[in-house]
Amino acid sequence: MKNRLLGCVTGLLLLVSAYTAQGADPDYEKSAKAHPFYQAILDVSKTMSGRKLLDYLNLRMQEDATRVPVVSLWLRDNSINEDDGRRLQSLYFLTYGETLVAMADGERESGNPGPYRELLETAMLNLHIFELMATIDATRCQDQTAISAVKSMMNQRYDIFRTAYRTFPRPIFDTIEKTALQHEEKFLGRSPNADICQMGKTYLIDLSKAPGVERKTIDDPVQPGRKKMVLVPPPGYVYAPGFVSDKQWLAARKAAIKDVTDEWAKRYKGSIE
């Protein structure tokens, strides 16, 4: 699950980078909402969410690069601008944050320091919210290996954080971290996140034993030049992760918050020294 998600995000970033290099419409929100694909996303999202929806968006953008700003706008409205806890999905913060990183890189390469800094700062906020919320969501899983999977995913993004830490003064990150904590607290009543739980080892063990599962060797999207083996679920395969009780989760949440904030401090110190 973790590798498949990384592949989906990596594909999205390549498309965003290509689109940004071409030059996006400055009034992109108006043009994006007028794009037929925007309504298509609204329709599909009524019956599809989380990883499956991200996979769908990735495939549709590969078919037509003009859909990139449309997806970017939808991700914004369904992550940092989302107010409905029942619809909240931490994976959208990750994908939107990395979309902004790619767009920021495009502005930097084009010699636009102002937009670069604005995009990178907003990206950092979304990535901080994802890390905090996903880690806390992982403590809700019966399969606690999901917690280490989230940590591993963030470690693979160390270079992004290091660049940002060396770009902005510490007070910017104090505000980002405070805002992330407030955002997670605001949506304390959110539903359990099955997609995060599927990042744990139990999902892979269950899938590997499913009748008809396909094993494929593909190019690793995260480590160019290397191959990796992935499991392709058979038609009709369903995995229902288990969750701990709300009482257990709320008790573990306090420790998870401390773990993440300690990691933020450690990561910052390691980046500027």
Span between the terminal Cα atoms of the chain, in Å: 34
Q: What is the mean pLDDT of residues 80-85?
A: 84
Mapping DSSP to helix (H, G, I), strand (E, B) and coil, where does residue 168 land?
A: coil
Give tens-digit pLDDT for 32-51: 888 889 999 999 988 888 88
**How sure is the predictor about 86, in pLDDT bands with cuts at 50, 70 and 90?**
confident
Q: For residue 175, report the phi and psi dihedrals to the nearest 5 degrees.
A: -70, -40
**Between residues 32 and 142, which one has the greater pLDDT?**
142
Q: What is the pTM of this model?
A: 0.83
Determine the average pLDDT of the residues in 89-93.
92
* Predicted pLDDT at 56: 86
| pLDDT given for residue 224 in this prediction | 64
CB-based contact 172:125 (threshold 8 Å): no
Identify the pLDDT of residue 221. Answer: 55
**With 60 as the cut, is the pLDDT of residue 2 above it?**
no
- Check residues 181 and 228 and name the one with the higher pLDDT: 181
Dist CA 268 CA 171 (whole Å): 12
pLDDT tens, residue by residue, 167-205: 999 999 999 999 999 999 999 989 999 999 999 999 889
According to the 3-state scheme, what is the secondary structure of the chain? CHHHHHHHHHHHHHHHHHHHHHCCCCCHHHHHHHCHHHHHHHHHCCCCCHHHHHHHHHHHHHHCHHHHHHHHHHHHHCCCCCCCCCCCCHHHHHHHHHHHHHHHHHHHHCCCHHHHHHHHHHHHHHHHHHHHHHHHHHCCECCCHHHHHHHHHHHCCHHHHHHHHCCCCHHHHHHHHHHHHHHHHHCCCCCCCHHHHCCCHHHHHHHHCCCCCEEEEEECCCCCCCEEEEEECCCCCCCCCCECCHHHHHHHHHHHHHHHHHHHHHHHHHHHC
Question: What's the pLDDT band for 239 if we cut at 50, 70, 90?
Answer: confident
Q: Average of pLDDT values for 89-115?
A: 89
Q: What percent of the chain has pLDDT over 70?
A: 88
Per-residue pLDDT band at 13 (split at 50, 70, 90): very low
Residue with more model confidence, 102 or 192? 192
The answer, yes or no, to whether residue 248 has pLDDT greater than 70, is yes
